[in-house]
Structures are given as structure tokens and as C-alpha cells.
Amino acid sequence: MTARLCAVFHCGSPAASDYSPYCRRHKSTLRRHGATGQRGIAKAELAPYLARVEARIAKNPDSEAWSLMEGTWTTIIAEANATANRRVGNRYERSAANEIAAIALDCTPGEVIRTVLAMVLFWHDQPRRFASDEALRVQIARRVRALSQRHVGLRYDHRTGQQVRVYREMTPKAAGILGRKLMIAFGAIGLHLAALDDRDRKAAQEAKQRLATAISQLS
């Protein structure tokens, strides 16, 4: 067994091997979430940001932006299908392409777009919730992938005599590639929505302050 300790500050556990700087737990976290200190983004955490995206869409139902974003996603799918069908090329690119193709079979473009925009709003409001840019990209990939059930399977547990759900994990590089594609496509739009929310909150606060001032001046 290696005598080296995990490189994560204050961990103190032995490194997983002579070739790994991290213990088994932090190595697994890095692989699944994109950084050793990153926690997964839960569906419940994302819900308020999804609601904000949906409210903005409802406020601008006739905007061409939504259909143009759907067109962008359609282009990403077409490129992914072409990449997935190649016999040569980068295996991580092909893995990410297969993930996109699977997501497209189960999910509407709107679901994918709203999820990415919500994740960008989350990042804008709580940047410290993400350990790094790569962790952000991986978390975006994981939340979009969670919209599909094609990575979920069943296996028989002999101890309980029941079927249990098993999840096929993405490789870290494939998750990073998928997250990067989604951020390039929709990240700037998500930041623009965040700016609009900031503007609306500021206007609401100013209106409340004017009302409070007017009430205080009543005789």
C-alpha cells in the first residue's frame, strides 16, 4: 500500500495508489463531479432557477430567441450523430456525441435549453457552489443527462432478491466536452437572462423605496 497521503488539504487519507495524488473518495468525486471539492447539483436546488427561466419565457412568448436556441440544439445533435458514426477519431468526443444522441431521443429541445439556462443562472447567483469552471461544465452535463433515463439500467441483487437501479457514469473527459458544448451554445444567453433578473430586482427595490419615501412624507 502506498505511504503517500491524499493531496486534498486536511484529508489525511492514504492516496489510492502510487500514481494517484488523491484518496479513493476524492478520486471518485473528481471523476464524477469535475473537482475534488464539488458536490453534485440536486434537482431541488435547480428548481428555483428553472422557475425563473420559465417565467422569462412566459414574459416573452413570441421572442425568436427560443426557436433560434432550439435550432442551435438541433445543430449540436446533427454534429453529434455524425461524430458518433465515425469509426476513427477522439474516443471522448465520440462518447460525448453518444450522450447527446441519447439525450435527444428522450428530451425535448426546450427541456435541455431550460436546464442549461437555469444552471447558468445558478452559477451567476452562487459562483462559490462550483469548485472550478470544469466542475461547472461537468455539473451542466450531469443535469442535462439526468433528463434522460438511457443511462439507467437494472440489475438483480441476490441479497435482497430485487431489481435495483444502476447508473452508467460518463467519463470525466466526455462530461467536460458535453458541458463545454452546452456552455458555448447557451452560456451567454443564460448570463443575459441573469442580467435581466438583476435589472428587474433593482427596479422592484427602487419602486418599494419610492413608495416607502412617499408614505413617510404623508401629513
| CB-based contacts of 185, cutoff 8 Å, min separation 6 | 69, 72, 73, 76, 116
Other Cβ atoms within 10 Å of 121 Cβ, number:
22
DSSP 3-state of 172: helix
Q: According to the model, what pLDDT value does residue 219 have?
A: 79
C-alpha 218/C-alpha 104 separation (Å) is 60
Residue 163, pLDDT score: 66
Note down pLDDT in tens along the chain; length 219 residues. Answer: 557 899 998 898 999 888 889 999 999 998 889 998 899 999 999 999 999 999 999 999 999 999 999 999 999 999 999 998 887 778 899 999 999 999 999 999 999 999 999 999 999 999 999 999 999 999 999 999 999 987 665 565 667 777 665 567 888 899 999 999 999 999 999 999 999 999 999 999 999 999 999 999 997
- Could you tell me if 171 and 165 are in contact, meaning their C-beta atoms sit under 8 angstroms apart? no
Q: What is the pLDDT of residue 20?
A: 87
Model pTM score:
0.86
pLDDT at 87: 77
Q: Give residue 91's Cα distance to chain centre.
A: 22
**Going by C-beta distance under 8 Å and a sequence separation of 6 or more, which residues neighbour residue 68?**
none
